[in-house]
Amino acid sequence: MKRIVIFASGSGTNAENIIKHFHGNGLAKVIQVYSNKKDAKVLERAKRLKVASSSFTKKELEAGDVLEQLNVLQPNLIVLAGFLLKFPEHIINKYPNQIINVHPALLPNYGGKGMYGSNVHKAVVANKEEESGITIHYVNENYDEGNIIFQAKTKIVPTDTFEDVAAKIHILEQKHFPLIVEQLLRH
């Protein structure tokens, strides 16, 4: 059984979707959910779904405490699902090509520091883009610059608000993210 660890900072809808996708499928299991916010809804979701969860401080992440825990857990894949801190190089170096992220835009557009959540969708609408989408990519030492694994697109119409774009992106994440995680674990 392959082991997945999820890092998230917010509500955790993608984390919950991945946990449910792998529940009882025999290939893999989410064994731990981490958050850098002790009051993040993702921790409540994990608890409800009977998945171990815990929070940590930015200092603990950077000092190596989280890496020590990961070394005990021995994950096959680390999934960033709405995780807002820059992932530390010491973890990236220890788990090369085993850390992936979902980004709510078609990278390389709308990536980089500060480009997350509604910031991305507001920029897409402000620039009158005709499409947006999701990018699932490997994590490297730079925000949103790791090798792209998968992209899915959605049309944007001139009347779409940033909330409309966010809803379209959420549908893509819910549909594709667990399937790409599964694909990576099968290879």
Specify burial of residue 62 (Cβ count, 10 A radius: 0-12, 13-18, 19+): middle
Strand, helix or coil for residue 4: strand
pTM for the structure as a whole:
0.96
Q: Is 103 considered catalytic here?
A: yes
Q: Would you kindly state where each structural domain of the chain is located, as residue ranges? A: 2-186
The one catalytic residue in 21, 23, 90, 103 is 103
Fold type of domain 2-186 = Rossmann fold (3.40.50)
Among the listed residues 115, 120, 119, 66, the one whose alpha carbon sits nearest the alpha carbon of residue 94: 66
Q: What is the DSSP-derived secondary structure letter of residue 98? A: -
Helix H or strand E segment including 77: strand 77-80
Cβ atoms of 83 and 101 within 8 Å: the answer is yes
Helix H or strand E segment including 24: none
Model confidence over 143-158: pLDDT tens digits? Answer: 899 999 999 999 999 9
Model confidence over 52-108: pLDDT tens digits? Answer: 999 999 999 999 999 999 999 999 999 999 999 999 999 999 999 999 999 999 999
